[in-house]
Amino acid sequence: MTDTAMSMTQKTDDIQSVESPQAKTAVWKRYLPVAIILGGLGIGYAYGLNDYFSLSFLAEQREALSAYVEANFAISLLSFGALYAVATAFSFPAASILTIFGGFLFGWLVGGIVVAVSATLGATALFLAAKTAFGDFLKEKVGGRVKNLAEGFENDAFSYLLVLRIAPVFPFFIMNIAPALFNVSLRTYVAATFLGILPGVFAYAYLGQGVESVLIAAQESGQEASVADLVTTEITLAFAALAIVAVIPTIVKKLRRRNSQNEID
């Protein structure tokens, strides 16, 4: 081997030795947000925080909570919004319950607005964490319903996500993560998420505003109230109707595209 070749080989080895730690650091930073979220979720369950996200807790503490909110409205509102955003970011399964809490404590309008903003912020944090860690590399390795989900996002990300937000076919936390795997832009994600959750947020906040009578009745009968006791058939049908209305533009676009393709052929 010539001196020149040996010199080039030595330089290559030096570069690799320098780049290797940097590459490891990059991977570590890439997965750090997801690790924090998973760690926070585990800590929350370990300390039993999920026990506080229930109608039973609201029934037991409703008078104390109402009194505190009345005496400290601004602080209570900000604290509730922060709690909702954190719970959403860490994927605690408490969206419906906390929205009912918001309606009960602050009224359907104020509570609904705070929930909509906080839920969007928390969902966006989770979206960015998933996008940083995974990007869209899973897109080529999935099939079945997940593959159909990916194709839907590719064709019309805003309309598709909007419909799935209005009519929750998939759990809320899945819809917070899935768009990050399929290259949905941040602007599209935030807009579709905020607009899509509004009907459900205000519906559940309105339920929360009148939940006290349900809680009292459940206590008097010795039974535990649940979200299912509050959700009526009318509300479910209303969500379905909204989803149908939201999906109409997407259907029209597909029909126009198909007609244009047939004319070209």
Question: Which pLDDT band, with edges at 50, 70 and 90, does 17 fall under?
Answer: very low
pTM above 0.75, yes or no: no
Domain residue extents for the chain: 21-264
pLDDT, one tens digit per residue, over 176-231 is: 888 887 778 899 999 999 998 998 898 888 888 878 777 766 666 666 666 666 66
Q: Residue 156 in contact with residue 250, Cβ under 8 Å?
A: yes
Lowest mean pLDDT of 28-37, 50-59, 252-261, name the range: 252-261
pLDDT at 246: 62
Contacts made by residues 105-110, CB under 8 angstroms, sequence distance 24+ = 105/65, 105/66, 105/69, 105/76, 105/80, 105/208, 106/69, 106/76, 106/77, 106/80, 107/205, 107/209, 108/202, 108/205, 108/206, 108/208, 108/209, 109/202, 109/205, 110/77
Q: For residue 250, what are its two tokens?
A: 């997407």
Mean pLDDT of the chain: 76
CA distance linking residue 174 with residue 130, whole number of Å? 11
Question: What's the pLDDT score for residue 12?
Answer: 46
